[in-house]
Amino acid sequence: MREPSRTLRSLAWTCIAALAVTAAVAGTIEPGQERVVRGRLSAVNPAARVVVVEVPMGDAELTVGVTLDTAVRPLKAGKELLLTELGVGQPVELRYQRRGDRLIGVQLRVLR
């Protein structure tokens, strides 16, 4: 059996860390409440429908990791994209809400 690549391991740890941070941040969002953030994609896992966005916050960054709702189709200039077409570093706008103890992405737009 082949050992996972360094990139795959790095992506997995990034997603785990982002989801851990998300769990902490989720406590500040009431169930059903929506938030909108703009930042850059730092990780994308199309199979799990997980995206991680780094949001500039003054001198620091907020890491927001969400599972995209199954109905969400990323948009770029009004056209639908596949999750596999998203890339790390792309500027995005993410609309998400808290459902139970999870953050769920309800809209994702690529900004350029």
The count of domains in the chain is 1
Q: Which helix (H) or strand (E) holds 44?
A: strand 34-45
CATH of the domain at 53: 2.40.50.320
Q: What is the pTM of this model?
A: 0.75
Q: Give the whole-angstrom CA distance, residue 41 versus residue 54.
A: 6
Q: Does residue 1 fall inside a structural domain?
A: no
Residue entry with tokens 């990791």: 65
pLDDT one-digit tens code per residue, 33-67: 999 999 999 999 999 999 999 999 999 999 999 99
Q: Does residue 12 fall inside a structural domain?
A: yes
Q: What is the rounded average pLDDT of the residues 85-100?
A: 96
DSSP 37: E
Q: Does residue 84 fall inside a structural domain?
A: yes
Q: Does residue 73 fall inside a structural domain?
A: yes
- Its domain, for residue 64, covers 6-110
Q: Does residue 57 fall inside a structural domain?
A: yes
